[in-house]
Amino acid sequence: MVPDLTSDTTELTALVDGAKTALRWVLSSELQRDLFPLKIIFVLFGIGFLIMIVYFIARTSYMDWWFMGFLKDFLFPKIFAKKLIIKKWKKIKKGLEKDFEEQWKLTVVEGANLVDRILKDAGYAGDDLGERLKRVDEEEIINLEQLKKAQLITEEIITNPDYKLTKHKAEAIINAFDRSLTDMNIL
């Protein structure tokens, strides 16, 4: 049995003619003229979104982290690391300006984390701040004993959510961290 190819050809021709008609309609100058205001609106939306993307990338540290971070670390590792630490430390100290205990606790924990990270980056071994402080020499950090007491209070804050922290005690702990960062020539 030989299939009838003439009916398939007619259907195929009708399909091709329909596609040509649709393409002519899409490319017609009348449709393009009618859609021109919509094109302008979408182009303006696109430009607006592009401006917003550039603005938010510039306002956040994403580009610094993504693109410039490697270059800065490669060319000037200590200068930019120190500036970043100083900026973070100022932000941490602002936490003491608040008038509620939870913020003071958070400030103390963040301060301890920063000191811990600095000691870790300096090459002191250990799993946490307490272990790293055991390896620090009294000559390197003059207020080492205060720093160890501050670390114990920080551990207590972390493990005991009911721990009562006064603003005076939080300021003393932050001052101990501040002094240790000064002793390490960070601040």
- Cα–Cα distances (Å) from 67 to 57, 70, 72, 81, 84, in that order, read 11, 7, 9, 16, 16
Report domain 77-183's class: mainly alpha
Higher pLDDT, 78 or 91: 91
Give pLDDT tens digits for 85-98. Answer: 888 888 888 888 88
pTM: 0.56
- What tokens appear for 175 in the block? 């001052």
DSSP state of 14: H
- 9 pLDDT more than 80: no
Which residues, in sequence order, are CB contacts of 88 under 8 Å at separation 6+? 114
Q: What does the alpha-carbon distance between residue 39 and residue 29 come to, in Å, rounded to a whole number?
A: 14
| Extents of the domains making up the chain | 5-59, 77-183
List alpha helices for the chain, DSSP H.
Answer: 5-27, 29-59, 62-63, 69-75, 77-94, 101-121, 129-134, 144-159, 167-183
Share of the chain above pLDDT 90, in %: 7
**68 Cβ contact partners less than 8 Å away, ≥ 6 residues apart:** none
